[in-house]
Chains A and B, each alone.
Chain A
């Protein structure tokens, strides 16, 4: 397995949001994340940014039952 550093790990976590990773890539990323707290945070935040796009539209297309929409 190829050892990767943070910069390369961020490339893999980004690609993971767009396409399936190869086996080697997946293992390299998994191993790095197991060791690196900063990259675990980065991975969560990339995921959050990814979800934010969808959330933006959901928020924007929610029906206006209440103008100050605080429904849960």
Chain B
């Protein structure tokens, strides 16, 4: 072993105690992210595990251009994409069924196209404060879980993973127009759910 020319690098290839501590600290947050995206707890566990292993193995490649946690998140996102592709290859993506989504959206609008009284948006208060509120994130989490699988998958690829609709079409094998329709539905459903949860919590 000692005769390998690059053996001197082995010192830097192992994460420092500080980095190991930070990996352990970020793990629950990686899990929360992966669960929202993959919607399967054991699959989420697996990708997070793989991402952590990769972070350890490629430790020397971290160049400090971004924060360490951000770098680890980047690794996780790639693992999630791989997992989504595998899900798709194995036919685990639900066929595009409606699941009462159309009916739920019909309830938000009158036949004239105006909002119905129950669905008309109310104010959520200052957006800055909203995003800093722990309660908002709890509501966000439960509303994400309540989204139908198909919609959630596309929605999280766009809003959590930050993929363009063009990239999503390629991954999901759908037309871009279809992608916009799904995202529109997702946003309407999520908005309604957030408003219900957020305002009812706020009025407690």
Contact = CB atoms under 8 A, between A and B. Distances in A.
Q: Of residues B26, B108, B159, B164, which shows the largest number of chain A Cβ atoms within 10 Å of its Cβ?
A: B159
B162 A46 contact: no
Given A52-B131, A61-B67, A63-B22, A18 B158 contact: yes
Q: Of residues A10, A38, A51, A63, which shows the largest number of chain B Cβ atoms within 10 Å of its Cβ?
A: A10
Interface size class of A (residues with CB under 8 A): 35 or more
Interface in B117-138: 120-124, 127, 130-131, 137
Interface residues of B, number: 47
A48 B130 CA distance: 9
A42 B191 contact: yes
Q: Of residues B67, B121, B137, which shows the largest number of chain A Cβ atoms within 10 Å of its Cβ?
A: B121
Interface of B: 22, 25-26, 29-30, 32-33, 67-70, 72-73, 108-109, 112-115, 120-124, 127, 130-131, 137, 140, 156, 158-160, 162, 164-165, 176, 179-180, 183-184, 187-188, 190-191, 194-195
